[in-house]
Amino acid sequence: MQKIYFLLFFLVIFTLTSCLEVETYPNEPSLSGANIVIQGDSAMLFADFIDGDGNFGLNESDTGGVFSDCLHQYNFFADYQEKHNGVWITMSEDPCLNPNAIPFYYRVPWVQPPGQNKTQKGKVSIVLYPAHYLLSNYDTCRFKVRVCDRDFNFSNEVYTNEFIKP
């Protein structure tokens, strides 16, 4: 009788766990939001992301081969924008085109997800220091943010909250 209860118990557990549905997401990374928090002369930029196949991030050694191209050495892109007479204008320059540009491009490290479900969900935090804005005659700013995974799939674009230069 004990063997029957034991088998019945495992049959019920197996049935319940096999019915659990695993959430699946597209292989391309996606951003659900971004915001900026000003702290004195620096700022923190936060972005929430999901990547279905878990390949968002770069290893320290990812600088050669397919990652040797300047643009592929980064995976977090924040384009600085200012509001000029009610219209948002991108002010930051691509550091791959202009080596003297103040870049807002970053390398987010790769944290490989454990287990069978490779989905990555998380929040990226970037410290914008020493400057989180560019000098100009306009004072209202924001960042347009996007990320790229190891297969060079780009995410959607999201915008931070507006902020006023100090």
At residue 20, the pLDDT reads 52
Q: How far apart are CA 26 and CA 153, in angstroms?
A: 11
Q: Please give the sequence-ordered ranges of beta strands (E in DSSP) within 71-132, or none if there are none.
A: 76-84, 87-90, 105-106, 120-128
Q: Structure pTM?
A: 0.81
The residue-averaged pLDDT of 133-155 equals 93
The residue-averaged pLDDT of 85-98 equals 86
The residues, any chain, with a CB within 8 Å of residue 75's CB and separated by 6 or more, are 56, 57, 58, 106, 107, 108, 147, 148, 149
User: What are the domain boundaries of the chain?
Assistant: 26-164
At residue 10, the pLDDT reads 46
At residue 6, the pLDDT reads 43
At residue 140, the pLDDT reads 95
Tell which wins on pLDDT, 66 or 13: 66
Q: How far apart are CA 15 and CA 18, in angstroms?
A: 5
At residue 117, the pLDDT reads 82
At residue 9, the pLDDT reads 47
pLDDT digits (tens, 9 = 90+) for 93-142: 777 788 777 678 899 998 888 877 888 999 999 998 767 888 889 999 99
At residue 165, the pLDDT reads 87
pLDDT digits (tens, 9 = 90+) for 2-43: 555 444 444 445 554 555 566 788 889 999 999 999 987 789
What SS3 class is residue 35?
Answer: strand
At residue 11, the pLDDT reads 45
